[in-house]
Structure 1
Amino acid sequence: MRIIKPCTYTVLGLALASVTQMTMAQDAHHSMLMSAQHESHSSHDSSHQEIQTAIESSQIEHTAEHAEHAEHAEHAEHAEHANASSIASRAASAQHPVDHKREHGGQIYQATEIDSRWLNNADGRGSLKTEIESRIGTDENKLFIKLHADKAESQDADYAAQVMYSRMISDFWDAQIGARYRVDEHQVTDKEQLDAAVGLHGLAPYFFETDAYLYFGTDNQVSFSLETERDLLLTQKLILKPYLNLDVVLSDDSAYAQKTGLSSVWLGLETRYEINKKLMPFIDVAYSYEKGNQHTARQAETGSEKQWWYGVGLRLKF
C-alpha cells in the first residue's frame, strides 16, 4: 500500500501535467486562430475601405469631368449664340442702313427763322430790316437759304439771297460754299450782282454764334463779312443778346465802288422776351458806322456816317 500510493500520486501528477499542457496548447492555438482571423478581418476591412475610396474617387473624378464637359458645352453654346446674334445684328444693319444712321444723328431736320425789326435814328429816319434763314439737312450736311431785305424810309429796298451748302468739319464748325444774288436799287446800272461765297458757320469760343464769309464778284469785287452774337440769360425768358455785324471791302473796281477797308459796322444790344420758343418780341439799340463810296464816273464820293439806332422787332421760329 505504501508503494502503490506514491505511484498513484505520480501518475496523477503526470496526468494533470499532461492535461494542463494540452489545455495551454489548445488556448495558444485558439489565440493564434483568433489573431489570424482578426488580421484577416482587418485586412478585408482595409481592402474594402480602399476599394470604396477608389470608387468614390472615381465617382468624384467622373462628376468633375462631367461638370467640366458641361461647362465647356455651355461656353460653346454661349459663344455660338453670341456669334449668331452678332451675325444677325450685322445682317440687320446691312439690310436697314437708314435706321442705323438715324440712331447716330443721320435724320433730316428743318428749321426756319424770320427776324423783322423797325429802327429809327436820331433824325427820325426809319428803316425796316427783314432777314429769313432756313436750313434743312442732317448734322453733317445741310443746305442754308438766307434772304435779306433792307428798306429805308422813302427809298427803294435792297435785296440779297444766299444759298450755301454746309458741311460739318468739327464738333462746332461747318464749312460752307455757295452763291449770293443781290439787287441794289440805288444804282442806275448793274443793279443785279452774283457773287461766289465761301465761309464758316459755327460756335466760336465763349459761345459766340458766328458766320464769316468771303465774297468774290465781278469787277474785282472781294469783300469779307462777319456776324457774331451771344445770348446772355437774365431769366429763362428774358435774354440779352449783344451782336456785331461788320463788312470789309478788300478790293472793288466796279462803277459803284465802295471805299476799301472797314466799310460798315453795326454794334448792338437786343433784349428779347421769349413768350415761347416760336414767338419772341424784342427791343434793339445799335450804333452804326458807314465809311461811304469812292469817287467814280457814275457816283460822287460820300463821307462816313455814324449814328445811333433804336427800335422794336419780332422773331419767329418754326
Structure 2
Amino acid sequence: MPQPVGEPQPEPVDPSPGPTMELPPPEEAGSGPPRAADAIWGAEAMAPSRAALKREHGSTVTTWLQADRLEYQARQGHDGLLWDVQGYYGNPTSKLWLKSEGEAALGEEVEDAEVQALWSRAVAPFWDLQVGVRQDLAGETDTHAVVGIQGLAPYLFEIDAALFLSQRGDLTARIEAEVDQRITQKLILQPRVEVSLAAQDNPARKVGAGVDKIEAGLRLRYEIVPEFAPYIGIEQGWRLGDSARYARLAGEDPSVTSVVMGVRFWF
C-alpha cells in the first residue's frame, strides 16, 4: 500500500536478522588469565563453583544398557540364537562395564556363552582402556584376565578389541568393528566384522593357533524410535587353519552363511 506523501518511509526489514558479516575475535580475546575470576573474588571463593561445574558437567553418573545383537539365525543344518549385550555404570571417564554374549543351536545345549566384568578409564577422546575378568559359562568354563580398548575410530567405526589370558595359559584375542551407514532418518545399514585369534592350539575348544574365525555381516535396521530397532541381515562365518580342521573332524562346516532377524535396543 503506497505511503502518504511527506510521511517517513519505514526502514526495510532484513530477512536475516543479525550481523551481515562475522568478524574474527579481537586479538586480546583469550589473552587474560585462565581463571580471571580468582583475581576479583579469590580462588577460595571460586572453588565451590568450580567443583559444582565439574560435578554437573564432568562427573555425572549414568547407567546404560544395550542389546547390540539379539537375533535368530537361520542357516543350513541347524538354526540358532545369538545375544550380544553390554552396559555400564559410571561417569564419562571411569565406568564399570558388564558384557555378555553367546550362541546356541536350537534344540541343543548352549555351545558358547560368557560374561565379562570390566573397569574402564578414558585414555583419549572417545577411547577407553578396559581391564577385568571374563568367565565362560558353557563348554570349557575357563576364567580369563582381560585387557582391552573400546572406542570410536575415524569415520565413526566402533571398535572393541581385547586380549584374554585363561587360567590355563591360553592367550586369545578378539577384534570387533562396526559402522552405521544412515540411508534415511530411520533406516540404517550396519556392516560388521569380527576376528578371533589364538596364540596356541586348543583342541578342547576346537581352536587352532593363528586366525581362528572371521565373521562378516550386514544388518539393515529400522529405528521405530532411536531406542528400539528391529533388523534383518546376512552373516558369513569362516573357520580358518587348524580351527577349520577341528570343525571338520567334529562334523561341522567351517564356512557358514546365516540369514539373521533380530532387534537392537538400549535404555
Greater per-residue strand proportion? 2
- Confirm or deny that 1:149 pairs with 2:102: yes
Aligned to 1:139: 92
Aligned to 1:240: 189
CA shift for structure 1 position 184: 2.4
Query: Contact between 1:252 and 1:260, CA under 8 Å: does it hold in 2?
Result: yes
Greater per-residue helix proportion? 1
- Confirm or deny that 1:184 pairs with 2:131: no
Query: Contact between 2:38 and 2:46, CA under 8 Å: does it hold in 1?
Result: no
Taking only aligned residues, the RMSD between alpha carbons, in angstroms, comes to 2.3
- Confirm or deny that 1:106 pairs with 2:59: yes
Instruction: Measure the CA separation in 2 of the matches of 1:92 and 1:261.
Output: 61
Instruction: Measure the CA separation in 1 of the matches of 2:38 and 2:93.
Output: 33
Aligned to 2:209: 260
SS of 2:54's equivalent in the other structure is: helix
Q: Unmatched 5+ residue regions in structure 1?
A: 1-81, 186-190
Query: Contact between 2:202 and 2:208, CA under 8 Å: does it hold in 1?
Result: no
* One-letter amino acid of the counterpart of residue 208, structure 2: K
Distance 1:200 1:84, change over 3 A: closer
Q: Higher Cα Rg: structure 1 or 2?
A: 1
Q: Unmatched 5+ residue regions in structure 2?
A: 1-36
Aligned to 1:166: 120
The sequence identity of aligned pairs, in percent, is: 28
Moved more, 164-173 or 92-101: 92-101
The residue correspondences of 1:217-236 to structure 2 (distance < 5 A) are 217-236=166-185
Query: Contact between 1:207 and 1:230, CA under 8 Å: does it hold in 2?
Result: yes
Higher relative contact order (CA 8 A, sep 6+): 2
Query: Contact between 1:140 and 1:168, CA under 8 Å: does it hold in 2?
Result: yes
- Confirm or deny that 1:118 pairs with 2:67: no
Distance 1:302 1:204, change over 3 A: farther
CA shift for structure 1 position 237: 0.6
TM-score (norm 1): 0.65
Distance 1:315 1:257, change over 3 A: closer
Query: Contact between 1:280 and 1:316, CA under 8 Å: does it hold in 2?
Result: yes
* One-letter amino acid of the counterpart of residue 268, structure 1: G
Instruction: Measure the CA separation in 2 of the matches of 1:307 and 1:125.
Output: 11
Aligned to 1:197: 146
SS of 1:100's equivalent in the other structure is: helix
* One-letter amino acid of the counterpart of residue 184, structure 2: T
CA shift for structure 1 position 255: 4.5
CA shift for structure 1 position 256: 4.1
SS of 2:155's equivalent in the other structure is: coil
CA shift for structure 1 position 103: 4.3
* One-letter amino acid of the counterpart of residue 133, structure 2: A
TM-score (norm 2): 0.77
Instruction: Measure the CA separation in 1 of the matches of 2:162 and 2:102.
Output: 18
* One-letter amino acid of the counterpart of residue 283, structure 1: I
* One-letter amino acid of the counterpart of residue 280, structure 1: A
CA shift for structure 1 position 164: 1.0
